[in-house]
Structure 1
């Protein structure tokens, strides 16, 4: 399902910060974040079932991130949502074609653009908006919908980014993404899946039988265009990978 938070022009040293949790079946084959041999400018994880990705960034500074739109929809779709991210980063013409036929895809929310400006669009919500400032959250409904996990993520980002010191900033962001707090029933959305499942899906970090937060990602870009991309995988096995690069330079440094 996934959860994304973004802060643009809210931090004194890092005008772009994105945090994200990827929620997925534990047994769905996945490759960790890497630069793709067929798209060498793109850094992203890979869904090995459909071949797309949920989050990616290029050495040129193009970025896209995706969440599912939660709904009861039994329709079979020929296309995968993961194509939205890869096409935006790698092929403007293909991306425009996809947006014109976005109803051929399962319900999605998409953030796309650069570290200076993002655009939100969805095939389940008619609004399309640009983001150049502020703290925003995207769960499995429209941008900034008042889901408790989204509101908690925004509040946590405000608190973390208001601190004067950068010491432990990335660590604090990952700690926020690891919050397993469940929310009271009266705060939960009604998306048709039933109250029991709504409760299980309510935390920022999900951990239920066979399904949960597979990985967490923090992307930070400073005022000189230096980007740090850190992915922390949780299941089915854990690892941490960090890539560093400067926008416009065709190299990634892996720590």
Structure 2
């Protein structure tokens, strides 16, 4: 998952609105979102490593993960898959803060993990939304609109700043009932923005200006011209899925997922509705 846009406590009925794009190699085997057998999780599944990038459960637990782009940093010995982090949180009962504190961050390559539990919204004693990671200390996310891509949370990358601005405008217009016209279509349009950032706005993560530019849109589609011939990205890389999550104050959750094949829309969005806890 390479972009998370979060509207937290910005709507009177839906304290969490989450828009996300998963960027991945086109050839990496993946199952679309579905209820997992013998598990409370509804999510897509990475068939190569077995985990997920974003998932939800009944009662309003939500988890997502992004990697951190740091090509010069070596992989830790015996590295674990970052996709297991959402799975472990969603199948457990720990609060976001407790789970984040217990993560063995040194066993993973760089990551940010978003952890939410709607059951903590009313109590006020514990944070309901936490950002964990192994390049920063875990912290509670404050009310507002936030973005996480492949750097530090809320880093002012163009896709983050543009996405947050657009999500704030969308959240301000939403009624108490979400549907295709008032939420799904405009949210997916936001996530389909393929405009590249100006050169002077690009971050420098060590991959070179051409690739920084190709990775700069909200919706990524890498061509052979964007990557070095010997780079695995030249075989096809980009946004594979767009996901929308809305959790109400009682913990009821709605989840839409739009798939793409080689950067093009593949069928209608899937829709799941999970009950409150």
Aligned-pair CA distance for 1:163: 2.1
Aligned-pair CA distance for 1:158: 1.2
Map of 2:82 onto structure 1:
81
Aligned-pair CA distance for 1:97: 9.5
Secondary structure of the structure 2 residue equivalent to 1:143: coil
Aligned-pair CA distance for 1:79: 1.0
Unaligned stretches of 5+ residues in structure 2: 122-127, 224-235
Does structure 1 retain, via aligned residues, the 8 Å contact 2:67–2:150? yes
> Which stretch has the larger CA shift, 148-157 or 54-63?
54-63
CA distance in 2, matches of 1:208, 1:183: 14
Map of 1:140 onto structure 2:
150
Give the structure-1-normalised TM-score. Answer: 0.89
Map of 1:177 onto structure 2:
191
CA distance in 2, matches of 1:71, 1:106: 9
Secondary structure of the structure 1 residue equivalent to 2:89: helix
Do residues 104 (structure 1) and 107 (structure 2) align?
Answer: yes
Map 1:1-255 to 2 at 5 A.
Answer: 1-39=1-39, 41-72=40-71, 73-75=73-75, 77-91=78-92, 96=99, 99-115=102-118, 116=121, 117-125=128-136, 127-163=137-173, 165=175, 167-209=181-223, 210-236=236-262, 238-239=266-267, 240-248=269-277
CA distance in 2, matches of 1:99, 1:195: 37
CA distance in 1, matches of 2:57, 2:251: 12
> Which stretch has the larger CA shift, 145-154 or 76-85?
76-85
Aligned residues: 245
Aligned-pair CA distance for 1:15: 2.2
Q: Which has the higher strand share?
A: 1
Unaligned stretches of 5+ residues in structure 1: 249-255
Does structure 1 retain, via aligned residues, the 8 Å contact 2:51–2:81? yes
Runs of 4+ in 1 over 6 A off after TM superposition: none
Aligned-pair CA distance for 1:68: 0.3
Question: What do you get for the CA RMSD once the two structures are aligned?
Answer: 2.1
Does structure 1 retain, via aligned residues, the 8 Å contact 2:79–2:109? no
CA distance in 2, matches of 1:56, 1:164: 23
Does structure 2 retain, via aligned residues, the 8 Å contact 1:84–1:98? no
Aligned-pair CA distance for 1:207: 0.8
Does structure 1 retain, via aligned residues, the 8 Å contact 2:145–2:167? yes
Aligned-pair CA distance for 1:78: 3.0
